[in-house]
Amino acid sequence: MYTILYAKGFYYLHNLVETENSLSIRSVFVNGFLIPGYAKKNCSGQKICVEKKGEKMIRLRPYKPSDAWKLVEWWEHTEEEVFMEWSAGKFSYPLTIEQLDGYFEVWGLQNEDGWMMTALDRQGEPAGHLLMRLADYAANTIRFGFVVIKPGLRGKGIGREMLSQALAFAFDILGMERVTLGVFSENERARHCYESLGFVQKEYVPGYMEYKGKMYGVCEMEVQNKKPLS
């Protein structure tokens, strides 16, 4: 059991559903880990206890240039069409270290409105990646992109955990009110993952990208921060 204080700071609760004597939550941060769980309030209402459920925990940290070798490895044996759906034509196939060095130069060194992020597994090894970009501090919006999970970990909820942490960073740390992303309509698994986190489709853009004579349409999705900003 973990005891978490109701306080601003390092601990974050997500998707609270409060009843007379309990809180149902999807996840909670404890010392940098994301823990799916169920929380119960005590009599004072000042503490909750979170029952740990499952062992799938990750950390999210800024991308480092050395992570490029992992990204290349993850796409090494992937079909070109699947890679192009992920990269939306922004990278050429096959992915190379040189391309990722250029990616880091743009988003890690030059642009002030974006961050490359790496998800780590419990052993501290890279398990996923995403880009947070186009941060607009007037409109309080930011966009996610280039979401990918290590092949051996796909379909195990790691992607959802990574995105949940990224949403917590966008909403709780950056103070954003809205997060957007685009997903190709053929990628149903990714779309269902986003929907499970509260993303809803706002627009469909047909013919967004052409690849080898095939046109790809994109679903534009967004999620709103349901917690009032302090």
Residue-wise pLDDT tens digits, 14-68: 444 444 444 444 444 444 444 444 444 343 444 444 444 445 578 999 999 999 9
The Cα 145–Cα 143 span in angstroms is: 7
The Cα 172–Cα 27 span in angstroms is: 14
Q: What is the pLDDT of residues 83-94, one digit of tens each?
A: 999 999 999 999
By C-alpha distance, which of 56, 14, 50 is closest to 33? 56
> Mean pLDDT of all residues in the chain?
82
Confidence tier at 108 by pLDDT (50, 70, 90): very high
Q: Look at residue 227 in the predicted model and tell me its pLDDT.
A: 73
Domain architecture of the chain: domains with CATH: 2-52 (no CATH), 59-224 (3.40.630.30)
Q: Is the pLDDT of residue 214 over 90?
A: yes
Q: Is the pLDDT of residue 138 over 80?
A: yes
Cβ atoms 223, 163 nearer than 8 A:
no
Q: Which residue has the tokens 């459920």?
A: 53
Q: Is the pLDDT of residue 8 over 70?
A: no
By C-alpha distance, which of 43, 36, 31 is closest to 4? 31
Mean pLDDT of 184-201: 96
Confidence tier at 230 by pLDDT (50, 70, 90): low
Q: Look at residue 202 in the predicted model and tell me its pLDDT.
A: 97
Q: Is the pLDDT of residue 209 over 60?
A: yes
The Cα 51–Cα 60 span in angstroms is: 22
Q: Is the pLDDT of residue 212 over 70?
A: yes
What is the token pair recorded at 210?
């052409």
Mean pLDDT of 183-206: 96
Q: Look at residue 23 in the predicted model and tell me its pLDDT.
A: 45
